[in-house]
Every structure is written in structure tokens, then in C-alpha cells.
């Protein structure tokens, strides 16, 4: 399989697994507590990122089994570690809010605060998808 096909399959898999892991696998406690500036908040965020990463790993394994694509284990581990670190960073919330402030997106970040579909949610998800792209490049690049 070409590197381009490996990238496309990997990105599609990660994108689907991200949506499931970030919305269905994450517990209510994790979603509510992960941004708190406390040990409970850090633990909730870590738990969320761990189950999200396991969801992505399982999806990649399923994709390999069905398609016959073989990904390099080292590339998968490095890619998922980069993705997990970026996800944890953003989901601590204050970090992404500060970044939004620094790049002139603070008003957008606060738009619709407290509601799904808010600016904070849109910036959070676009951050994660951008890192899924980078993760897929790492994995496909190390597997070709």
C-alpha cells in the first residue's frame, strides 16, 4: 500500500475513533471535571485521554485486520503519544483558552459559553483534528 493510502486509512480511522472516544467513551465525570485546576481535574483528564487513546489504538488494529495494512508499531506508539499529549494539553481547558486569547480568538472562544456548539467546543475539536492529521502523518510516515 502506498504511503498516501496508509495516511488516508490512518487519518480516517483516527478521526472516527476520536469522535467515538471523545463523546461516547468519555464519562460524564471526566467531561465535567477534566478542566478543574485540581488533582481531581488532572486525574479526570488523564483517565479521559487514556480511554481515548485505547479507543484509537483498537480502531487502528481493526483497520489493520480488515484492510491488511501493516503499521509500524513504533510509529503507532509515537503517533498516539503525540496525540495523547496534545489532547491532554487542550482538555485542561485553561491552556486552550489562553492560546485563544493570544491569537485573537478570545471572543470566539467565549461565544455560546456553557452550550454544546460553543466557540470553545469548536476550537477544541479543531485543535484535536489538526493533531489527528499530524498523528496520521507520523504513523503513515513511519510505516511506509
User: In this predicted structure, what is the pLDDT of residue 100?
Assistant: 92
User: In this predicted structure, what is the pLDDT of residue 118?
Assistant: 83
User: In this predicted structure, what is the pLDDT of residue 12?
Assistant: 98
> Which residue in 17, 3, 4, 94 sits closest to 51, CA to CA?
17
Q: How many domains does the chain have?
A: 1
User: In this predicted structure, what is the pLDDT of residue 34?
Assistant: 96
User: In this predicted structure, what is the pLDDT of residue 119?
Assistant: 87
> Which residue in 134, 31, 131 sits closest to 91, CA to CA?
31
User: In this predicted structure, what is the pLDDT of residue 113?
Assistant: 74
User: In this predicted structure, what is the pLDDT of residue 1?
Assistant: 62
Burial (Cβ within 10 Å: 0-12, 13-18, ≥19) of residue 118? middle
Alpha carbon separation from 89 to 7, 34, 83, 85, 131 (Å, rounded): 24, 11, 10, 6, 12
Task: Divide the 144 residues of the chain into consecutive groups of 10 and give the mean pLDDT of each group.
Answer: 90 98 97 96 98 98 96 97 97 92 92 77 94 97 81
Range of the domain at 18: 3-143
User: In this predicted structure, what is the pLDDT of residue 144?
Assistant: 64
pTM, rounded to two decimals: 0.92
Query: From CA 134, how far away is CA 122, in angstroms rounded?
Result: 19
Give the per-residue SS3 of 80-134: HHHHHHHHHHHHCCHHHHHHHHHCCCHHHHHCCCCCCCCHHHHHHHHHHHHHHHH
Amino acid at each position: 500500500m502506498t504511503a498516501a493510502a496508509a495516511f488516508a486509512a490512518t487519518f480516517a480511522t483516527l478521526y472516527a475513533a476520536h469522535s467515538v472516544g471523545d463523546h461516547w467513551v468519555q464519562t460524564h465525570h471526566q467531561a465535567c471535571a477534566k478542566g478543574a485546576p485540581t488533582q481531581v481535574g488532572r486525574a479526570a483528564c488523564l483517565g479521559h485521554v487514556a480511554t481515548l487513546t485505547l479507543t484509537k489504538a483498537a480502531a487502528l488494529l481493526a483497520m489493520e485486520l480488515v484492510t491488511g495494512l501493516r503499521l509500524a508499531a513504533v510509529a503507532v506508539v509515537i503517533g498516539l503519544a503525540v496525540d495523547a499529549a496534545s489532547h491532554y494539553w487542550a482538555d485542561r481547558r485553561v491552556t486552550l483558552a489562553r492560546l485563544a486569547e493570544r491569537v485573537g480568538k478570545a471572543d470566539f472562544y467565549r461565544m455560546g459559553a456553557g452550550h454544546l456548539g460553543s466557540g470553545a467546543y469548536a476550537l477544541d475539536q479543531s485543535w484535536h483534528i489538526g493533531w489527528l492529521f499530524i498523528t496520521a502523518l507520523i504513523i503513515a510516515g513511519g510505516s511506509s
